[in-house]
Structure 1
Amino acid sequence: MPPFIIGVCGGSGSGKTTFCRQLVKYLGTDHVLHISQDSYYKDLSHLPFDQREKINFDHPDIIEFPLLVSHLDELCLGKNVALPLYDFAKHSRMMGNQFATPKPIVILEGVLLFSDSDTEKRINHKVFIDTSEQVRFERRLKRDVRERGRTPESVHSQFNSTVGPMHNIFVEPGKTKADQIISGEQSFEQVIEDLSLKIIKEIWTL
């Protein structure tokens, strides 16, 4: 039986990772495979570092969607896949892979998921997390400085030059494709409980 694929989309800093982690915890790690679109950033190791920093990382072209789609198809066939690993500080793929085995539920998380038609049509249930721009920026600022080795100035610059504009063009329209729109500024507890019950019922009827 192919896995039930849940796609969780929303702007950078909207709360996607928190939502997905809570959903995985609720459903149980034995039953869920969590895949992040961020792992599929194209490898830029062939470029000098100063050129990598100038790349628009918020445009769909920077994501290797064909590889993501092929991995989803392989999982649906019951095959193991080798997920790429990405180093955000260096803007390049890391050596090695993370091997993943098929599970009944796949949670797919990413900013640009619904912008790629081949990826979007493989998702059984699409969730869009709607969060104000100010909150998204504040969360991104904290994360990028703490986890990705960036300066506050570079985060400000990137948000104004690419993150904000690309959100309006490629991310926000994803709302129209979503099966469910939820707030990223409120507790996810009840939403996760209701969604989990829905998923379990869907799997039983497959």
Structure 2
Amino acid sequence: MDGKDLVIMQKKPIIIGVAGGSGSGKTTVAHEVYRQFPAESILMIEQDAYYRNQTHLPMEERLKTNYDHPLAFDNDLLLEHLHLLGEGRAVEKPVYDYANHTRAEETIHVEPRDVIILEGIMILEDDRLREMMDIKLFVDTDSDMRIIRRLLRDINERGRTIDSVIDQYTAVVRPMHLQFIEPTKRYADIIVPEGGHNQVAIDLMVTKIKTILEEKSML
């Protein structure tokens, strides 16, 4: 490895924040951007992986977890990992076990990359995370579409009933969205309507990221 390679590796990665409510299409947007770059130059960090470890709590207490509240996330660990990746060091990304409502024993080894996509419902709520982002996106989708997508996902992928999904949405998801997620829209550099179906917005984002990379002489 020559001196030029060392300089490139030491450059701070570009961090792209992709936020939005549950069912907004933010994950689709994040993956669409991700697949536009070589795997060796980009990585995805999901905020969902950083739900707090609850192994110290009995199951009945874990079942009460409000996953749509900022306190559900271990942002201190997420920030630590982002700083380490920014220094060119690998991290062990946690894996969350939804069946047991706590962090799994296994982790995922993550190597540093030129571009980091940070995706999650609450990533714009924490000012420390916002300060680390080069570009902040908010995927904005009508509430009726979000609840329909959530219904389909939870019924087909998580074995939930229609009643349980609706009950959770009205009691927790919707009020938490209005209190904590919707207000973070004001922090976004770009608001993307209609999620992953907005190919124009995705193409513009990819072009912008490539421009920043070129300016930083990373390509």
Work out whether the TM-score is over 0.5.
yes
Cα deviations by residue, 1:34-89 (Å, 9 ceiling, x for unpaired): 01000000122333333322221111001000000000000100000100001223
Percent of pairs with identical residues = 39
| Cα separation, 2, equivalents of 1:82 and 1:117 | 24
Q: 1:150 to 1:44 in 2, by over 3 A?
A: farther
Superimposed CA distance per residue, residues 95-131 of structure 1 (whole angstroms, 9 cap, x where no aligned partner): 1100100111000000000111111111110000001
Q: Give, as a single letter, the amino acid of the residue that structure 2 aligns with 1:63.
A: F
Letter in 2 for 1:165: P
C-alpha distance in structure 2 between counterparts of 1:163 and 1:37, whole Å: 17
Given the alignment of the two structures, is residue 201 of structure 1 paired with residue 200 of structure 2, yes or no? no
Instruction: Tell me which amino acid in the other structure corresponds to 2:100.
Output: K
3-state SS of paired residue (2:40): coil
2:43 equivalent to 1:33:
yes
SS at match of 1:102: coil
| Structure 1 runs (4+) greater than 4 angstroms displaced | none
**TM-score of the superposed pair, with normalisation by structure 1:** 0.95
Distance apart, 1:20 and its partner CA: 1.0
TM-score (norm: length of structure 2): 0.89
Q: Specify the SS of the correspondent of 2:179.
A: helix
Aligned length: 206
1:73 is aligned to: 83
Structure 1 equivalent of residue 65 of structure 2: 55
Cα separation, 1, equivalents of 2:121 and 2:212: 25
Selected match of 2:161 from 131, 147, 151? 151
Letter of the 1:130 counterpart = D
Mind listing any 5+ residue stretches in structure 2 that lack a counterpart?
A: 1-10
* AA of the residue aligned to 1:96: E
Give the structure 2 partner of residue 2 of structure 1: 12
Distance 1:54 1:153 in 2: 18
Deviation at 1:185, TM superposition (A): 5.2
Q: Residue 98 of structure 1 aligns with which residue?
A: 108
Q: Which amino acid aligns with 1:52?
A: R
2:5 match: none
Q: Secondary structure at the match of 1:6?
A: strand
Contact 2:92/2:108 (<8 A) preserved: yes
Most deviating of 78-87 and 191-200: 191-200
Whole-angstrom distance in 2 between the partners of 1:151 and 1:77: 45
Q: Larger radius of gyration, structure 1 or 2?
A: 2
3-state SS of 1:99 partner: strand
Secondary structure at 1:115's aligned position in 2? coil
Instruction: Please report how far the alpha carbon of residue 186 of structure 1 lies from its aligned counterpart in structure 2 after TM superposition.
Output: 6.5
Please identify, of 186-195 and 104-113, the stretch whose mean Cα deviation from structure 2 is larger: 186-195
* Aligned alpha-carbon RMSD (Å): 1.4
Q: Which residue of 2 aligns with 1:19?
A: 29
What is the distance in 1 between the residues matched to 2:154 and 2:109? 26
Q: Say if 2:26 and 2:195, in contact at 8 Å, map to a contact too.
A: no
User: 1:37·1:113 contact (CA, 8 Å) conserved in 2?
Assistant: yes
